[in-house]
Amino acid sequence: MVEATKVKLRPLYQWLDDRMGISALMNSALHEAVPEQGGWAYTLGSATLILIALQIVTGIFLTMMYVPSFHESYQSLHYLQTNDLFGAWVRGMHLWGSYTLMLVIGLHMIRTFMTASYKRPRELNWVSGALLFFVVLGLAITGAMLPGDQAAYWTMTVVTNIPHYIPFIGDYIRWLWRGGKFIGPITFTRTYGIHIWLLPPMLLGLIGLHLYLLRRHGEFGAWVNYDTEGPDPDREIAARIAKVEPPYPSRDVDPKFAAPNRTVDFFPNQVFKDTLVSLLLVAVVFVMALLMGAPLDGPANPATLTYVPTPEWFYLPLDQLLVLGPQTWLIAFVVFVIPGITATLFILLPFIDRSPERNPLRRAHIIVPGLFVIFMMVTLSVLGINRLYNL
């Protein structure tokens, strides 16, 4: 019976294949060379993509139950929390998926930084990935402002007040976002629009660009994939380039780094690793959502004098910076100048580090400042946790 079904479906598949090129697309997507060494580290990129897809799917489900209203958002989520176990689980997956995504995308950027995978000809791979990172940050913070509970209201109050410290135009930006001087229904509507309609198209566009560039230049992986082993490096490199499969040799690059010394097929070798790591992370999200759910404070109360806003964990460094520089004249510097310079250097890293060296032990002028930034972020986070939770 199975064989008979296959025979009946074959003409339909052939018809679709002739018009859509399914076989050629699948062959191009699955049968390409990737570096043999370091394959488990490459899974962070695929895991990021899967977690983003999970966020999109759970977000779509939430929009079917969630009421995007300043006064009714809390009631709709409270109903999910108390009357719809499946809905509460989906909301938990959306929350823990966001947390996991921030962790994985951060590790992916660190891996790329340490292995110098951003160097020529992959500069735009890094730039698109860095912009993608900031868009995900924007989605995370705007999503935290939507539940309509105490945490969401005071997060919205703090975040929408930050533009106030921008010289000359800050008050106008705050008024534009809030729709007035204070938080109100318009603030909520505009934040919801940013979260649902503005940032997701940017996210999808950057993902498409990032994947295209990855397919064009191939996965760099790490410097260990390009070490020569014989007494004649030039001959070994030439032989490697002559026998390599697409997408190698990489364009416009030192011949030494044009092709890895050993490659394997993306399918099934790398697909297996990507699938295993992605399934493990999705399983962690499922379990955390089932066991922990998503917290929901009491309804927003603008008149309270005792509630202490607690930022999401990935914004703890910035929150602690604000505490260390409470004076008005310092806030603009702390919130915009320091993070702004850091973010700009972060995005432009491939154009700053133009040396051909890939080994991190020989790139102290880049690695040491990068590790210092990471150290400061961890330190500020620890200080913030200690301040907020009295640990």
Q: Please give the chain's pLDDT, 391 residues, in tens.
A: 556 565 667 788 788 878 877 777 777 767 788 888 888 888 999 999 999 999 999 999 999 888 888 888 999 999 988 888 788 899 999 999 999 999 999 999 999 999 999 998 999 999 999 999 999 999 999 999 999 999 999 999 988 988 887 778 888 999 999 998 889 889 999 999 999 999 999 999 999 999 999 988 988 888 888 888 778 888 888 888 888 888 888 888 888 888 888 888 888 888 899 999 999 999 999 999 999 989 888 888 888 877 877 888 888 888 887 777 655 556 666 667 778 888 999 999 999 998 888 999 899 999 999 999 999 889 988 888 888 777 5
Other CB atoms closer than 10 Å to residue 100's CB: what's the count? Answer: 21
Please name the residue ranges forming H helices in 163-270.
170-178, 185-193, 199-217, 233-243
Asked whether 117 and 221 are in contact (CB, 8 A), the reply is yes
List the CATH code of the domain at 35-220+231-306.
1.20.810.10
Asked whether 104 and 51 are in contact (CB, 8 A), the reply is yes
Q: What is the pLDDT of residues 232-291, one digit of tens each?
A: 888 888 888 888 888 888 888 888 888 888 888 888 888 899 999 999 999 999 999 999
- CA-nearest of 162, 157, 190 to 176 is 190
Asked whether 158 and 141 are in contact (CB, 8 A), the reply is no
270 to each of 23, 38, 129, 219, 224, how far by Cα in Å?
A: 20, 10, 21, 11, 17
Q: What is the pTM of this model?
A: 0.90
